[in-house]
Structure 1
Amino acid sequence: MKKIYVGGCFYDYLEVRNIQNIFVSNGFEITYDWTIKVYPCFCIHLDTKDRITHILFVHKYIYARIEINAEKIITHRNKLSNDMRTFDKLQEEAILDMNGVYQADWSIFIITRKDYVYRGTFFELGASIMRDTLRNKRNHTIIISSVGKDTYAKTLCFYHHPDIIHVNTIDEALYFM
């Protein structure tokens, strides 16, 4: 059975979970399902003058957009961030994610948000490229994105690594695998 790791935006974990299920139904084994470890978190969105426009809350099956007074968001966010995403939890997540990438035969990365930075996803992408290099394999890392659309992620050099396959759909990814 082929093993696969699926990475993507933390806030798209339900979409990533659905994509994992598609791969499982096609005979793949998920090396690590990070979507089950999603801790409650807030994501703050700023305008061009660094003023908070809205806040997103994510926890398991809850995804909410909240419009609120900026001072209250900042105070509330800092308290929650310190309580819920501690050093130990972040360290554990990093180890589990990297092990998931290393144990996989294939890595799939979902990169679809226009303005999202994908910091963690690109760490995993780099680990996937290195895994393939050390195993003397090419084209075992696939990015699913809108190939014709501009996104922030496309400005990063690793997005364009020659050993990455770029596709628009899950079906196209399955074709290459």
Structure 2
Amino acid sequence: MKFELKFDENIYRNQMDLLRDLAWKDKIAYYKNSHFLGIILLIIGSLLFFDRPSFFGFVLIIFGLGILIPYFYYYFKIKSSYKGFEEVKTKEIEACQNIATFTWEFTEQGLISKVQDNERMLEWKEFITYLIKENNLFLITEKYEPMILGETEVGEENFKKILDFVEKRVTEKK
């Protein structure tokens, strides 16, 4: 199956946002409200410890810090990665504006992607998994390079054919 795709900035932005969510959404959800608990434990522990030094106050301070340190680590890490991600996305959009079409070809050996004169063949064994999120197919390689194809780009019927084809060839490696 061979598909010629045209670059659409809105589709690209949506797919990149989905990719970012795949990478960070669980961490964000996990740490979203943990800082409240950490601050409360830190305050209560500090009041107990400084009012009259006790082991229980010390333990609450340690637990509070144990919750706050990972929260702040991931807060700044995610914030910096979002900033870098937006810069890369903007550069990629500027570069892709000048490209007329992309070609994806699904063969028995692998996936062939062609952009202008650059052709790349990825064998099926190079893919570790595939994901389907909001009618987008994410093919993840061993080097964690995502290949993303949306239903809006190829049509509903072709998308189902692609999913059936990929499902038979990409086996999840553990």
> What's the TM-score, normalizing by structure 2?
0.30
> What's the TM-score, normalizing by structure 1?
0.29
Please identify the structure whose Cα radius of gyration is greater.
2
